[in-house]
Structure 1
Amino acid sequence: MKFEIENKIASPEIQGEILALEEERVLRELEEITSQTNHLLGEGKTAEVWPLKGSEMLCMKVVDSDRLENMYENGSLPPFNSPEIEFDFLERVKEVTQAVHIPVPHLVLNIHTDEDRHVRIIVMEKLKAISLKDVHEGAPLPKNFNMTTFFARLRASLEQLHEAGIHHRDIAESNIMVMEETGDPCLIDFGDSASVMEGESPYTIRDDFGRVFRTYPNDKRSLGEVEKRLTAKLGTSLTKSK
């Protein structure tokens, strides 16, 4: 299968020979993915995340645009951000908040295959972290994890983002990571995020007739529920270990 890069967006950190190397590596890895010879790191509503072989620092989020557009058209998938828009959100969020770690985006490739398949890829930082979803499924937390500090920093980051008009809209265990070395929080997956003007509702979308078309979960309320579930989980674990 042949892949042709139609266009790309790159962060300032990747230039010249490094950019060309990343493009070549991504295309080579994409061939392996289509043959299912690589290792899936994770998946969500709109994409799969795969490693880049030979790199401890990078992974790629792969969006099959044609499949998702079909899902959107038949009503089985709500509106979602394109990789280009998510790339922009990641860049903006990094500037707005330092309270949590945000994956560094490096490159977006818009690709067509010789089989007329349309694929978009974000090459981004590969996190040395576990998700809270992993924790609920039995993964151990880092020894330096501090529940109070962890959620205080998440709340502070949401305050900063909201003041800048940015709303994540998908705060859940699968999108909150714990950095393995530091125990610090990391927020991922800005595929549902929105930038809203003051006075606009960030969690309700209306159609041209004023009818509610789509609602999203409130960031702060969702974070509170995540914290309650983790508190209950850790409390249960401690009780069992005694």
Structure 2
Amino acid sequence: MEGVKSTSVSANFADKYHCTGEKLGSGGFGTVYSGVRKSDQLQVAIKVVDKNKVTDWYRPKVTPIPLEIALLQRVSHIKGVNQLMDYYEQSRCFIMVLQKPEGCMDLFDYISEKKVLSEKTARAFFRQILETVHEVHKAGVVHRDIKDENLLVNTKTGQLQLIDFGSGAFLIDSAYTDFDGTRVYSPPEWIRQHRYHARPAAVWSLGILLYDMVCGDIPFELDEQICKAELTFKGHLSKEVQSLISGCLQIKPSNRLSIEDIFQHPWLRNNEKSSLSSVENIACIIPLKTANTNSSGSLESKVSTSSEGSY
């Protein structure tokens, strides 16, 4: 297994890091706190996971570790993934030390503040997300909870990072029969049959996410709506972006676009430059928020889907 090396039970986390006590998020898989690396005062995120709450383990030749740690090690080389810097096993828990990029907020909060994203901004963001998901799959991992709350936006550079692999798995070609992700982002085949394949399910989630960006909220709330997949587009959207979203949100998995198809879609290959420099007013949009703010004061009717804190 590549990436961060295992840290023994006897290793003293407190010698290297200071936990400030500020909670960034919490949920079924653990609690995330703000922290500092003592050697250089680098800001970090510290995720604490109780051993008795770990349901999926990776069992190498040495001591078993939570599957989430093994997945993060596997994707450690990918630029668009929030990196695991270190981890520690304690008697009752595992402690993960993760990057905490400065000037970031989650995409849920970003969309809530902007109400909707222009197609230019959405294109710049979506291309990054697509490239990251593609690289994660090439590394043999599937995230299984792609959504706005699991993406950090650097408000200075416009770069995005995918976070929280707590619902992830190793990529397989056969069907999955378990799912711990967010239901309103899950595909119809999971709702109906409790079975799905990784790649078409990821494309469905990407379609929900793109709709969320350009329309300001997710398209479906109820299981019946997910299974019917009847789209109503808001605002004045181009036919190209509507086509891309519709191609991702096909009821039958075999009818959906593949990730390779999405890369070649006319909307994503639009002649209009969608580099990071084109992301509109990104450095001065709003005051910085903690990446896992629970947006109870969000604009309009956009509601957080999260049951788990960021990271």
TM-score for both structures, normalised by structure 1: 0.63
Secondary structure, aligned partner of 2:157: coil
Which digits, 9 at most, give the CA deviation of each residue in 1:169-218, with x for residues without a partner?
Answer: 11112111112221111101111211134x322x4349xxxxx7776982
Alignment check: 8 A CA contact 2:68 2:165 kept: yes
* Structure 1 counterpart of 2:15: 24
- Kindly report which structure 2 residues correspond to 1:64-213, keeping only aligned pairs within 5 A, or say none: 64-66=50-52, 68=53, 79-80=55-56, 84-95=66-77, 97-98=78-79, 100=80, 102-112=81-91, 118-128=92-102, 129-138=104-113, 146-197=121-172, 199-201=173-175, 203-205=176-178
* Structure 1 counterpart of 2:210: 227
| Structure 2, gaps ≥5 residues long | 59-64, 180-192, 218-233, 236-299, 301-311
CA distance in 2 between partners of 1:60 and 1:216 (Å): 32
Q: Which has the higher strand share?
A: 1
Alignment check: 8 A CA contact 2:13 2:88 kept: no
Identity %: 23
* Structure 2 counterpart of 1:209: none
Alignment check: 8 A CA contact 1:204 1:216 kept: no
Alignment check: 8 A CA contact 2:137 2:171 kept: no
Larger RCO (CA within 8 A; separation ≥ 6): 2
Moved over 4 A (4+): 79-84, 212-217
Aligned pairs, number: 188
| Structure 1, gaps ≥5 residues long | 1-9, 33-37, 70-78, 113-117, 207-211
CA distance in 1 between partners of 2:141 and 2:210 (Å): 21
Aligned pair in 2 of structure 1 residues 215, 135: CA closer, same or farther (>3 Å)?
same
CA distance in 2 between partners of 1:133 and 1:155 (Å): 17
CA distance in 1 between partners of 2:76 and 2:125 (Å): 18
Q: Which has the higher helix share?
A: 1
Q: Which amino acid aligns with 2:45?
A: C
